[in-house]
C-alpha cells in the first residue's frame, strides 16, 4: 500500500500508519548543562512551538516550565534556576537548541550567544527587544489609516 492509499477500515486517511512509516529514526543533538546531559528531538515538539508563541506576552514561570519540559524534561527549569541560570543564559540555550534540533551542528554556542544578544539588543533604528515592547517603551504600529 502506498502512502496516499493508507486508510482505516472506515476509509479514513490513516495518519497513524503514515507517521509510523516515516518516523525519524535518528537522535538529535546533545548538550550538557549543570551536570545533566540532554538529547534534543530531531524536530521541535508542537507543545514547544505553541508555548513559544504564548510566552511572547507571559512571564509566568509555569508557562516557561511547560515549554522547557517538552525539550528537556519536567524538572529542567527548576534545576537550571537552582544553579543560578540567568535569563541571558536561558535565551542562549534556547537559541542553540531550536537551531540544532533539526540540523545538529548548525550553530555553535558562541553563534547562539551572538544571535541572542543581537535579538535582545538590536542596533540603533531596529525594533526594540520583547522586554522593551512589554514595558511599552517601543513604538506602536499605526492602524494604517491616514489622518
Global pTM value: 0.67
Residue 106: the pLDDT is 92
Which pairs count as long-range contacts for 97-100, CB under 8 Å and 24+ apart, including other chains? 97/29, 97/31, 97/40, 97/71, 98/44, 100/28, 100/29, 100/40
Residue whose C-alpha cell reads 486517511 in the numeric block = 13
pLDDT digits (tens, 9 = 90+) for 61-104: 888 888 888 889 999 999 999 999 999 999 999 999 999 988 88
Give the pairing type, strands 36-39 and 30-33. antiparallel
Cα dihedral 64, 69, 72, 73 sign: positive
Please state the separation of Cα 10 from the chain's center in Å.
37
Amino acid at each position: 500500500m502506498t502512502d496516499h492509499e493508507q486508510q482505516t477500515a472506515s476509509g479514513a486517511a490513516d495518519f497513524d500508519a503514515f507517521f509510523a512509516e516515516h518516523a525519524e529514526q535518528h537522535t538529535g543533538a546533545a548538550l550538557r548543562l549543570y551536570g545533566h546531559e540532554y538529547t534534543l528531538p530531531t524536530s521541535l515538539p508542537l507543545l514547544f512551538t505553541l508555548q513559544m508563541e504564548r510566552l511572547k506576552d507571559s512571564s509566568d514561570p509555569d508557562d516557561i516550565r511547560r515549554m522547557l519540559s517538552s525539550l528537556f524534561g519536567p524538572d529542567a527549569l527548576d534545576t537550571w534556576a537552582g544553579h543560578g541560570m540567568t535569563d541571558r543564559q536561558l535565551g542562549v540555550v534556547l537559541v542553540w537548541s531550536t537551531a540544532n534540533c533539526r540540523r545538529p551542528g548548525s550553530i555553535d554556542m558562541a553563534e547562539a550567544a551572538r544571535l541572542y544578544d543581537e535579538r535582545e539588543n538590536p542596533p540603533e533604528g531596529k525594533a526594540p527587544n520583547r522586554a522593551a515592547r512589554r514595558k511599552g517603551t517601543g513604538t506602536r504600529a499605526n492602524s494604517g489609516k491616514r489622518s
